[in-house]
């Protein structure tokens, strides 16, 4: 049904093109050989341009169809319904997603969501495309010099996706307001957005997204790739229910100076298109599972490329978190959770850990090692200029072991 | 150093452009307003075309540089050396890779290798781009109708990569000869290629690649994505040392008819850009580790997207493999291996399993379950028309348990 509309549009455009060519031909005022030559040239250029513009274009499709024809860009996605993977794939059209950071991970994530037919995308970045970005997927050399959001929007191939771009740094006071306003009202029909994806490459931007999402009670997903290009991770963050980014920050952070100036002149992080694409794939896969309610949304997936190891873990919120909105969301979640337990008389479907001892004997000698004592003290480590310890964990800390392990990992 | 060459090339092109514009201006034969108008139009078009052609283009770079400037497309890759991940990244320029199947996985794999600066790529496919492919990364709607290899070559952004395209089906007798000839002599300086990547979507093409690689004693990597779009795998295959594709074939195969006709009319496989990109990422990451000798080359990595589970296993060759070249390579490998053991007096560095009992007691009750008895017999399963059992495993089979598990998995 939908493809008749597309064919009619193409026919209509062809008619208009023919009319235009005839009009140009009738306009011809003189019969000199050079005049003829130019008229022919202009006609050829016009036809070539319009043909490349209309031919095989992906036209607006009012309703996703599962018809199996070569011209249907959604046939392979709608097949997920027939395969009993997704119940209502077309619901993706009602979803809106914010992507912050349109670099090696974010640009690929935005392209995946575009090709999947997401309802609305809001892209935030303030960087420009450079030739030095060409070792990762997505950007083309001829886009060098353009802002990343402009370049990403310009190459978005799906006319069914509503794309808004914000060429701005969200960490400034004014832009932070725009960012939170868009989380609140930037979705379809001026509603709340459904998900925020963080694809940024620095601590400050991550903390800004974290603060905004805690404030707006917005589910978001974090992603990151290591400086040596061979590991990465994604993390699902639901304010109050899971650890937020401030619950488990790195132990060492920049001290009141711009992080970027900490990088030495003539030195840059390594990056690989492979690691970036894997992390973007994990991120958008998790986003699709969350948005379309299929499979299990993973709380955390790590990727160690050197030995193809994929650590998984779940981080609970830190009751001593430095973010006041996080603590507020934790209280709200506990109220909701305990109401649920009181109401249903069970804790099914929640994530309280069963503390019953499964095995009384332990002949294999497996044990959980106390890790807090191995954390270095402030005076044991010499930090470079511009770096400070964010805090020193107390030995009587009530924070879970998992939390401490994360800190130790961050120090490696 | 290299960027001076690039800048000089741009300056040279700009000079030529100016000369050309002046020549066009001098040619102007008349002073009528319409004549002027056309001359101006042609000049503008010429300038626009040449400017878009030369500006910000990625020029041929004679030697990979690690200089950290925005205009160096290799700075982030060469940084892998400074990070002590790869010893000699620039060796990638001496490597040549065959990619068979330029679809959802193969096109992304080819793009990754291109952006990484591989020496030579040989692309094989016989399919055309359709709008129905737009739900995966890489192809653009305006490439619909082009052959996939042409489209892939046309958008290759790195002029330093030597790309050869073969718009052919390798399973025919004549094309098979071309394919094996290219494995033997298609590399740089007419040498052997370094690696073959299989990104095809059917049994027949996989068996063809397998036969060719066994015959040519060529290391290759297999990849695949399930019909329901939510799982995939990659596998490293070294003739004689690991299981080949014929060592562990699916139990049920098409019987003397074209596999594609087995698909029902109006039904297609589902696919997702996320799963395809993850599998392409794993594949090229493993290829880079193999080609540049860093990290551990994984024998097999699976990906279950629904629960982010990543099975890993190593498959040993089947001494009863139906491929005669596989058996020949197994014998050759055993001769080499035993010579090594006799010569060095040890089996260090090889993959013979240590059969010493590590734990005498087994209080946790862990045991290996005998699986062969659970394999269904021919008469227990009703197959659809066009399908046959490839074989029935003997109960006294000497084939390893791992092999049988794989067959059972393939039947799910």
Domain boundary among A324, A340, A356: A340
How many residues comprise chain B?
Answer: 412
Chain B residues 129-148 within an 8 A CB cutoff of chain A: 130-132, 134-137, 140-145
Say if A290 falls within a structural domain.
yes
Cβ(A84)–Cβ(A283) below 8 Å: no
Instruction: With CA atoms as reference, report the closest residue to B208 among B168, B245, B258.
Output: B245
* B387 DSSP β-pair partners: B254
B243 and B174 in one domain? yes
Q: Give residue A134's Cα distance to chain centre.
A: 20
- pLDDT on residue A51: 60
Cβ(B39)–Cβ(B23) below 8 Å: no
Say if B67 falls within a structural domain.
no
Q: For A58-198, list the strands marked E by DSSP.
A: 96-100, 120-125, 162-167, 195-198
- pLDDT on residue A338: 76
Q: What is the CATH number of the domain that holds A134?
A: 3.40.50.720
- pLDDT on residue A336: 85
Cα–Cα distance measured from residue B375 to residue B393, given in angstroms and rounded to the nearest whole number: 9
B142-151, pLDDT tens digit by residue?
898 999 999 9
Say if B68 falls within a structural domain.
no
Q: For B141-281, list the strands marked E by DSSP.
A: 162-167, 195-198, 220-225, 231-237, 252-254
A270 and A138 in one domain? yes
Domains held by chain B: number: 3
Handedness of CA B382, B384, B388, B391 (dihedral sign): negative
* Helix/strand/coil for A32: coil
Say if A65 falls within a structural domain.
no
Cα–Cα distance measured from residue A291 to residue A195, given in angstroms and rounded to the nearest whole number: 8
A106-116 vs A273-292: helix crossing angle, rounded to 10? 40
Question: To the nearest whole angstrom, how far is the Cα of B115 from the nearest Cα of chain A?
Answer: 5
Number of C-beta neighbours around residue A185 at 10 A: 12
- pLDDT on residue A359: 58
What tokens appear for B225 in the block? Answer: 């994505």
Higher pLDDT, residue A284 or A399: A284
- pLDDT on residue A340: 75
* A125 DSSP β-pair partners: A167
Instruction: With CA atoms as reference, report the closest residue to B233 among B137, B311, B289.
Output: B311
Per residue, the 3-state secondary structure of B325-358, as one string, reads HHHHHHHHHHHHHHHHHHHHCCCCCCCCCCCCCC
- Closest to B141 (Cβ–Cβ): which among A56, A137, A144? A56
CA dist list (Å): A11 to A3, A64, A65: 12, 22, 22
A307-343, pLDDT tens digit by residue?
999 999 999 999 999 999 999 999 999 988 877 777 7
Question: To the nearest whole angstrom, how far is the Cα of A304 from the nearest Cα of chain B?
Answer: 10
CB-CB under 8 Å, B142 with A135: no
Number of C-beta neighbours around residue A324 at 10 A: 12
B391 and B329 in one domain? no
Cα–Cα distance measured from residue A365 to residue B359, given in angstroms and rounded to the nearest whole number: 12
Question: To the nearest whole angstrom, how far is the Cα of B322 from the nearest Cα of chain A?
Answer: 31
Question: pLDDT category, A198, cuts 50, 70, 90?
Answer: very high
Question: Chain B contact for A36, CB < 8 A?
Answer: no
Say whether A307 is catalytic.
no
What residues have CB less than 8 Å from A200, skipping those under 6 apart? A100, A101, A103, A106, A206, A209
Question: Chain A contact for B156, CB < 8 A?
Answer: no
What residues have CB less than 8 Å from B172, skipping those under 6 apart? none
CB-CB under 8 Å, A267 with B134: no
Handedness of CA A342, A348, A354, A356 (dihedral sign): positive
Q: What region, left, alpha or beta, does residue A124 occupy, with left being phi > 0 and alpha being psi -120 to 50 degrees?
A: beta
Q: Nearest chain B Cα to A71, which residue?
A: B131
The half-sphere exposure of A262 on its side-chain side, counting CA atoms within 13 A, is 17
Question: To the nearest whole angstrom, how far is the Cα of A41 from the nearest Cα of chain B?
Answer: 9
Question: Chain B contact for A44, CB < 8 A?
Answer: no
Q: Where are the alpha helices (DSSP H) in B57-172?
A: 75-82, 106-116, 148-154
Q: Nearest chain B Cα to A72, which residue?
A: B132
What residues have CB less than 8 Å from A121, skipping those under 6 apart? A96, A97, A98, A99, A110, A113, A114, A156, A161, A162, A163, A164
CB-CB under 8 Å, B141 with A157: yes
* B166 DSSP β-pair partners: B124
A70-92, pLDDT tens digit by residue?
889 999 999 999 999 999 999 99
B162 and B307 in one domain? yes
When mean pLDDT is compared across A14-18, A128-132, B309-313, B346-350, the lowest value belongs to: B346-350
Domain boundary among B55, B82, B97: B55
A172-185, pLDDT tens digit by residue?
999 999 999 999 99
Cβ(A376)–Cβ(A252) below 8 Å: no
| pTM score | 0.78
- pLDDT on residue B224: 96
Say if A179 falls within a structural domain.
yes
Say if B62 falls within a structural domain.
no
Cβ(A79)–Cβ(B269) below 8 Å: yes
Identify which of A105-114, A143-152, A264-273 has the greatest average pLDDT.
A105-114
Higher pLDDT, residue A410 or B345: B345
Q: Where are the alpha helices (DSSP H) in B203-322?
A: 203-216, 273-292
Cβ(A63)–Cβ(A2) below 8 Å: yes
For B279, the domain range is: 74-259+266-340
Say if B230 falls within a structural domain.
yes
pLDDT of residue A8 exceeding 80: no
Averaged pLDDT, groups of 10, chain B, 412 residues long = 41 53 53 61 68 60 88 93 94 97 96 96 96 91 91 87 96 97 96 97 94 98 95 97 89 64 72 97 98 97 97 93 95 86 58 51 60 47 63 46 39 37
Say if A354 falls within a structural domain.
no
Q: Return the residue matching tokens 């029909």.
A: A189
Task: Choose the catalytic residue: A116, A268, A307, A326.
Answer: A268
Distinct helix (H) and strand (E) counts, chain B: 10, 9
Instruction: With CA atoms as reference, report the closest residue to B233 among B278, B285, B202, B272.
Output: B278
Cα–Cα distance measured from residue A50 to residue B376, given in angstroms and rounded to the nearest whole number: 61
Cβ(A94)–Cβ(A118) below 8 Å: no
Backbone angles phi, psi at B68, to 5 degrees: -90, 85
Question: To the nearest whole angstrom, how far is the Cα of B58 from the nearest Cα of chain A?
Answer: 6
A80 and A38 in one domain? no
Contact list, B363 vs chain A (CB under 8 Å)? 361, 363-364
Number of C-beta neighbours around residue A385 at 10 A: 7
Mean pLDDT of A208-219: 97
A98 and A41 in one domain? no
B373 and B294 in one domain? no
Q: Strands of B120-125's sheet, edge to edge?
A: B162-167, B120-125, B96-100, B195-198, B220-225, B231-237, B300-304
Instruction: With CA atoms as reference, report the closest residue to B94 among B293, B355, B266, B344.
Output: B293
A85 and A171 in one domain? yes
Chain A residues 68-107 within an 8 A CB cutoff of chain B: 68-77, 79-80, 82-83, 85
**B332-365 core/surface letters (b: 16 or more CB in 10 A; e: else):** ebeeebeeeeeeeeeeeeeeeeeeeeeeeeeeee
- Closest to B42 (Cβ–Cβ): which among A41, A272, A305? A41
Chain A residues 213-272 within an 8 A CB cutoff of chain B: 227-230, 266-272
* Helix/strand/coil for A229: coil
- pLDDT on residue B184: 97
A115 and A36 in one domain? no
Q: Indicate which of A39, A151, A273 best probes the interface with B, i.e. most B CBs within 10 Å of its own CB.
A: A273
B85 and B49 in one domain? no
Cα–Cα distance measured from residue A121 to residue B194, given in angstroms and rounded to the nearest whole number: 41
* Helix/strand/coil for A241: coil
A207 and A101 in one domain? yes
Q: What is the dihedral of CA A19, A24, A25, A28, to 10 degrees?
A: 160
Instruction: With CA atoms as reference, report the closest residue to B252 among B50, B126, B127, B390.
Output: B390
- pLDDT on residue B96: 98
B326 and B370 in one domain? no
């Amino acid at each position: 049904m939908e493809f008749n509309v597309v064919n009619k549009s193409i026919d209509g455009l062809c008619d208009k093109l023919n009319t235009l060519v005839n009009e140009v031909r009738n306009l011809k005022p003189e019969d000199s050989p050079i005049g003829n030559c130019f008229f022919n040239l202009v006609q050829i250029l016009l036809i070539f341009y319009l043909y490349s513009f209309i031919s095989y274009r992906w036209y607006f499709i009012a309703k996703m169809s599962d018809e199996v024809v070569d011209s249907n860009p959604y046939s392979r996605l709608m097949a997920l319904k027939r395969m009993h993977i997704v119940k209502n794939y077309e619901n993706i059209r009602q979803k809106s997603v914010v992507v912050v950071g349109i670099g090696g991970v974010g640009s690929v994530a935005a392209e995946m969501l575009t090709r999947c037919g997401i309802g609305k995308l809001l892209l935030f970045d303030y960087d420009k495309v450079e030739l030095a970005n060409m070792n990762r997927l997505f950007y083309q050399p001829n886009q060098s010099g353009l802002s990343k959001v402009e370049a990403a929007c310009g190459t978005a191939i799906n006319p069914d996706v509503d794309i808004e771009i914000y060429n701005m740094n969200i960490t400034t006071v004014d832009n932070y307001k725009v960012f939170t306003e868009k989380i609140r009202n930037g979705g379809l029909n001026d509603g709340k957005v459904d998900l925020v994806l963080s694809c940024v490459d620095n601590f400050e931007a991550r903390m800004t997204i974290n603060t905004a999402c805690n404030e707006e009670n917005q589910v978001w997903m974090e992603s990151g790739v290591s400086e040596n290009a061979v590991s990465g991770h994604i993390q699902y963050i639901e304010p109050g229910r899971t650890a937020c980014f401030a619950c488990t920050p790195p132990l060492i952070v920049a001290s009141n100076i711009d992080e970027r100036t900490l990088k030495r002149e003539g030195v840059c992080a390594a990056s690989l298109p492979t690691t970036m694409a894997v992390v973007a794939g994990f991120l958008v896969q998790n986003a699709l599972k969350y948005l379309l309610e299929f499979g299990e949304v993973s709380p955390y997936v790590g990727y160690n490329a050197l030995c193809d190891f994929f650590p998984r873990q779940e981080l609970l919120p830190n009751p001593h978190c430095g973010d006041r909105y996080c603590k507020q969301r934790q209280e709200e979640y506990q109220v909701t959770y305990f109401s649920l337990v009181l109401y249903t008389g069970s804790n099914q479907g929640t994530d309280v850990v069963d503390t019953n001892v499964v095995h009384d004997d332990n002949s294999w000698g497996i044990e959980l090692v106390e890790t807090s004592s191995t954390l270095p003290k402030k005076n044991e480590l010499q930090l470079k200029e511009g770096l400070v310890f964010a805090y020193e964990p107390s030995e009587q800390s009530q924070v879970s072991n998992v939390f401490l392990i994360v800190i130790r990992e961050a120090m490696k």
